Amino acid sequence: MTKTALGSHPFLLGFEQLERLVERTAKSGNDGYPPYNIEQSGEQSYRITLAVAGFAEADLSITVEDRQLVIRGRQSEDEDERIFLYRGIAARQFQRSFVLADGVEVSGATMENGLLHVDLERSVPDKVVQTIQINRD
């Protein structure tokens, strides 16, 4: 049995990047930390909310790399030697990745009550009808 690539199907001309995005997403292997929500906040807008309790704004970075939204968190080590009797708040670094569709841009990010909100906007492309002339040889 041979494995056929998704991008090699004759009806999917020009969708080679789709296969790369699927592979990259499958390899990201997120372990569920931190938990997040994705909601539609308007007709063409979305919001990703991550629960980042214990992280300061300076501990977080948000980047867009090759149509992939990457949110990283790394807590700075406390200089004072604190002794925990019980440590139930996760203090580990994380990386969360989300693949953005064409036309989706990050419009902003806010932090409130231990939640990081990343707002996304989808631009609506103009509908273009193109007529192709048939040339005679």
pLDDT the model gives residue 29: 54
Secondary element (H or E) of residue 18: helix 16-27
31-78+85-122: CATH topology is Immunoglobulin-like (2.60.40)
pLDDT the model gives residue 8: 63
The pLDDT of 89-105, averaged and rounded, is 86
The whole-angstrom distance between residue 96's C-alpha and the CA centroid of its chain comes to 7
Q: Between these two residues, 6 and 114, which has the higher pLDDT value? A: 114
The pLDDT of 89-103, averaged and rounded, is 86
User: What residues contact residue 9 under an 8 Å CB cut-off, 6+ apart?
Assistant: none
Domain boundaries, the chain: 31-78+85-122
- What distance in Å separates the CA atoms of residue 39 and residue 42, rounded to the nearest whole number? 9
In the predicted structure, residue 84 carries a pLDDT above the cut 90 = no
User: What residues contact residue 66 under an 8 Å CB cut-off, 6+ apart?
Assistant: none
In the predicted structure, residue 30 carries a pLDDT above the cut 60 = no
Q: Which of 20-24, 33-37, 70-74, 133-137 has the weakest average pLDDT?
A: 20-24
Secondary element (H or E) of residue 95: strand 94-99
pLDDT the model gives residue 75: 79
